């Protein structure tokens, strides 16, 4: 007999190191051809840093994403980033990028102001131009402004930025502190089908709602949620490392032997983004990278319980565990 059940799990996740102390630095350099170099120590792990951070710099500078070159391949020459962990890159590195790009843009304003006969506060960077607000006829290409600064004024157009939180020390009497930069929230709903004769659990549907603060790149954010959902559902039904039993020789020796979820194991995944801006995040953004894998597994556990009335909290939920749990249930009834 095949039985269906639905389960839900909610999650919250902090951004950055608990207790503070971590930081990220950035450098933005404007070149005479109107392009920019973004120089950071932030590492790309597949999470999209190589896309999102140049995208943020381009937005501030009023140039195209393709005109920003991201240099992050040399820890000796690049400024320090505390690391690509703790779902912190968009939040911490993003804030550092905004500060560095803003300072570089302000330097362009200072150089262009006399040429445009306007105060710096009346200038804007749009479409590769430094122009007077609401006056498209009074504008200079960013490359020309950078060239003037370098070759006439002998001033390099560069901006630096840094973002971090000071260490938070708990109050010795009350323990009160402010350990977290910001919090993101999520909910995942799963529907499963359990075959009570074979013990096989099939995931039929996955829906997730994530508070991203502000989706800097909505498509990348959606794909992060989908990737996390696939990981979480894989943990819940397939993946097992066998760390101690029965012996090391039974452990997977390669990804070819490891039970990873494939497209045949994953249902349609629906994702909804909720934007509840973080007060200190870049344009309100929060970090969601790691938390995307957290709620799917308990949602599957809850769905299996809803389907067959037994709790299997030792994942993965293999057919053997399902059949044993159903057998124990029948013994208890008897």
Q: Is the omega angle on the peptide bond into residue 246 within 30 degrees of 0, that is, cis? A: yes
Q: In the structure encoding, which two tokens stand for residue 36, read together?
A: 């920019």
Tell me whether domains 2-14+181-333 and 23-164 share a fold: yes
Cα→Cα distances 110→50, 119, 121, 131, 297, Å: 30, 8, 10, 12, 54
Which residues does 289 contact at the CB level (< 8 Å), separation at least 6?
47, 87, 89, 224, 228
Which of 3.40.50.720, 3.30.365.10, 3.20.20.140, 3.20.20.70 would CATH assign to domain 23-164? 3.30.365.10
Which of 3.40.30.10, 3.90.700.10, 3.40.50.620, 3.30.365.10 would CATH assign to domain 2-14+181-333? 3.30.365.10
Biggest alpha carbon distance in the chain? 93
Mean residue pLDDT across the chain: 93
Four-residue CA torsion sign, 298, 299, 304, 307:
positive
Q: Does residue 149 register a pLDDT over 90? A: yes
Q: Does residue 253 register a pLDDT over 90? A: no
Domain ranges of the chain: 2-14+181-333, 23-164
Convert the pLDDT of each residue in 269-314 to its tens digit. Answer: 999 999 999 999 999 999 999 999 999 999 999 999 999 999 999 9
Convert the pLDDT of each residue in 57-82 to its tens digit. Answer: 999 999 999 999 999 988 888 999 99
- Write phi, then psi, for 58 (nearest 5 degrees): -60, -40
| pLDDT for res 254 | 81
| pLDDT for res 255 | 80
Convert the pLDDT of each residue in 162-171 to its tens digit. Answer: 999 888 888 9
């Amino acid at each position: 007999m095949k039985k269906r059940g639905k389960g839900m799990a909610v999650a919250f996740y902090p951004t950055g190191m608990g207790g503070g102390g971590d930081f990220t630095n950035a450098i933005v350099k404007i070149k005479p051809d109107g392009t920019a170099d973004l120089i950071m120590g932030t590492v790309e792990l597949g999470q999209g840093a190589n896309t999102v951070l140049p995208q943020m710099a381009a937005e501030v500078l009023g140039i195209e994403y393709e005109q920003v070159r991201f240099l992050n391949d040399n820890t000796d020459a690049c400024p320090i980033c505390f690391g690509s962990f703790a779902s912190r890159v968009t939040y911490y590195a993003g804030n550092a990028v905004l500060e560095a790009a803003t300072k570089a843009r302000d330097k362009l304003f200072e150089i262009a102001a006399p040429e445009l006969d306007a105060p710096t506060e009346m200038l804007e960077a749009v479409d590769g131009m430094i122009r007077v607000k609401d006056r498209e006829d009074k504008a200079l290409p960013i490359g020309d402004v950078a060239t003037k600064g370098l070759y006439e004024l002998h001033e390099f157009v560069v901006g630096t930025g840094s973002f971090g939180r000071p260490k938070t020390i708990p109050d010795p009497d009350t323990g009160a502190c402010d350990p977290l930069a910001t919090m993101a929230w999520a909910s995942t709903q799963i529907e499963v089908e359990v075959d009570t004769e074979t013990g096989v659990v099939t995931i039929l549907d996955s829906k997730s709602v994530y508070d991203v603060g502000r989706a800097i790149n909505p498509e990348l954010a959606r794909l992060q949620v989908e990737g996390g959902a696939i990981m979480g559902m894989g943990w819940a039904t397939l993946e097992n490392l066998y760390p101690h039993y029965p012996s090391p020789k039974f452990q997977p020796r390669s990804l070819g032997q490891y039970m990873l979820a494939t497209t045949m194991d994953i249902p349609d995944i629906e994702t909804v983004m909720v934007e509840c801006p973080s007060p200190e995040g870049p344009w309100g953004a929060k970090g969601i990278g790691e938390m995307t894998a957290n709620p799917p597994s308990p949602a599957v556990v809850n769905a299996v319980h809803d389907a067959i009335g037994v709790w299997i909290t030792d994942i993965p939920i293999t057919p053997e565990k399902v059949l044993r749990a159903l057998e124990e249930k029948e013994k208890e009834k008897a």
